[in-house]
Amino acid sequence: MKKITLGTNGLEVGRIGLGCMGMSAFYSGAGQDDAGSIATIHRAIELGVTFFDTAEMYGPYINEELVGAAVAGRRDQVVIATKFGTILHRGDGSRGLDGSRENVRISVEGSLARLGTDYIDLYYQHRMDPGTPIEETVGALAELITEGKIRGYGLSEAAPATIRRAHAVHPVTALQTEYSLWSRDPEAEILPVVRELGIGFVPYSPLGRGFLTGTIRSLDQLEETDFRRTNPRFAGDNLEANIRIVEQVDAVAAELGAKPGQVALAWLLAQGDDIAPIPGTKRVSYLEENVAADALELSADQLEALDAVAAPVGDRYADMSPVNR
């Protein structure tokens, strides 16, 4: 697999990573097959995937434990990214935004223990805390870098002004936000800012929460606990309207003899050498499909056709207030 460097501190990763959230939380079947999820992580390493994404919120906590168990004995082969800032650490797993210096310290110690490691390669603030100046949060993260507990830090769903303020305190290694053929908002302001500042870009949900694979045609396919049932883009008439996007991706896939999800990833990789998407799966077969997108080349005409895909109907989340701020 081709490799890229995120940020300016030399963090090298395979340019397709693995999002591990769905192994433990939020999606249909999450948490039902830890052995299969661990096998998927092991197969990913065999295929040259080095970049694994988790968070304390996923579970909470159990996804970090799962990733830690999977990479035990393989730590020098992987780059681990995890996230803090959405758990209040009151002993009950309660959620809320907390970017305070104290919470940064509490959170990192917990993540290190659950991951079974003495350092984290990339430590993201999961969502921005409006009650704590970003300068305070980054100051605490810079201390962790000096102490060797983290190698670099990132921000997730931060607005351009916040990115600039954070970067002025200590260089940001990577910015993570949703980006795909059905979530192109970062192109307007986020991508120009991170490229200006030399920050890596990590798109999450690069397959549109599974929608761009072409396998989801009805909410009846999703379990009652699957969070996509509350996502506006999967709701009612929006779902039917958004199927047209998949049909356009599928048309390009048919030309190439590829899967729609592979085409969606290949389009994303074609957007720049500083992009490392993290498609999520807990199944080896889907992992192998995703990794194969690394070798898929789209023609200029195919890229143009995909660029022309219409924007989806509906917001990315039912509550958009915590993102892009």
Domain borders along the chain are: 3-208+268-296
E strands, the chain, are 3-6, 11-14, 18-19, 51-53, 79-84, 122-125, 153-156, 174-178, 200-204
Residue 153's alpha-carbon distances to 1, 84, 200, in angstroms, are 24, 11, 11
Residue-wise pLDDT for 149-188, tens only, equals 999 999 999 999 999 999 999 999 999 999 999 999 999 9
User: Whole-angstrom Cα distance, residue 212 to residue 44?
Assistant: 21
Q: How confident is the model at residue 229 (pLDDT cuts 50, 70, 90)?
A: confident
Q: Count of H helices and E strands in the chain? A: 10, 9
**Using the 8-state DSSP alphabet, how is residue 313 labeled?**
S
pLDDT at residue 133 is higher than 80: yes
Q: How confident is the model at residue 80 (pLDDT cuts 50, 70, 90)?
A: very high
**3-208+268-296 architecture in CATH?**
Alpha-Beta Barrel (3.20)
Q: How confident is the model at residue 88 (pLDDT cuts 50, 70, 90)?
A: very high
Q: How confident is the model at residue 223 (pLDDT cuts 50, 70, 90)?
A: confident
> Active-site residues: which are they?
58
